[in-house]
Amino acid sequence: MAEIAVSVKNLYKIFGTFHAVDDISFNVPSGCIFGFLGPNGAGKSTTIKMLCGLLKPSSGSGRVGKYDIMKDSEEIKKNIGYMSQKFSLYDDLSVIENLQFFGTMYNLRGAVLEERVETALKLAELSDSRHILTQILPGGIKQRLALGCAILHKPQFLFLDEPTSGVDPMSRRNFWSIIHDFARIGITVFVTTHYMEEAEYCDYLVLIYRGKIVVEGTPAELKSSKLQTNIYRLNCTAPSLLYEKLEASQKFSEVNLFGDAVHIVSPDDIAGVQKAISDIADYEKIEIVNLQKILPSLEDIFVLAIAEANKR
Partner 1 sequence: MKFKRLWAMSKKEFLHIIRDMRSLTASVLIPITLLVLFGWALNFDVDKIETVICDLDHSYKSRDITSHIAQSRYFKVIAYAESTKEIEKHIMFGRAVLGITIPHNFEKMLAQGFSPVVGLIIDGSDSNKANIGRGYILAMMNTFSSEVFQEKMTETGIKKVKMPVEVRQRVLFNPELESKNYIVPGLIAVIMAVIAAMLTSLTIAREWERGSMEQLISTPIRGPELILGKLLPYVLIGYVDIAISMGMGIFVFKVPFHGSWLVFFIISTIFLIGALSMGLFISVVAKNQLVANQISMLLAFLPAFLLSGFVFSIANMPLPLQIVSRLFPATYYVKIVKGIFLKGIGWEILWYDMLLLVVYCLVLFLLATLKFKKRLG
Question: Which parts of this chain interact with partner 1 (CB under 8 A)?
Answer: 15, 49, 52-56, 73-74, 77-78, 80, 82-86, 88-93, 97, 100-102, 104-107, 109, 146, 149
The Cα 149–Cα 97 span in angstroms is: 11
Cross-strand bridge partners of residue 236:
288
Nearest residue (CB) to partner 1, 24 versus 222: 24
Taking the complex as a whole, the smallest distance from the CB of residue 286 to partner 1 amounts, in Å, to 47
Taking the complex as a whole, the smallest distance from the CB of residue 105 to partner 1 amounts, in Å, to 4
Contact 135, 92 (CB under 8 A): yes
Nearest residue (CB) to partner 1, 84 versus 297: 84
Nearest residue (CB) to partner 1, 112 versus 280: 112
Taking the complex as a whole, the smallest distance from the CB of residue 73 to partner 1 amounts, in Å, to 7
Nearest residue (CB) to partner 1, 36 versus 82: 82
Sequence-distant (≥ 6) Cβ neighbours of residue 47 within 8 angstroms:
8, 11, 13, 21, 24, 36, 192, 208
The DSSP secondary-structure symbol of 75 reads H
| b/e map 253-276, b = 16+ CB within 10 Å | bbbbeeeebbbbbbebeeeebbeb
Taking the complex as a whole, the smallest distance from the CB of residue 87 to partner 1 amounts, in Å, to 8
Taking the complex as a whole, the smallest distance from the CB of residue 113 to partner 1 amounts, in Å, to 10
Quick one: which of 107, 103, 195, 194 has its CA closest to 152?
Answer: 103
Nearest residue (CB) to partner 1, 90 versus 122: 90
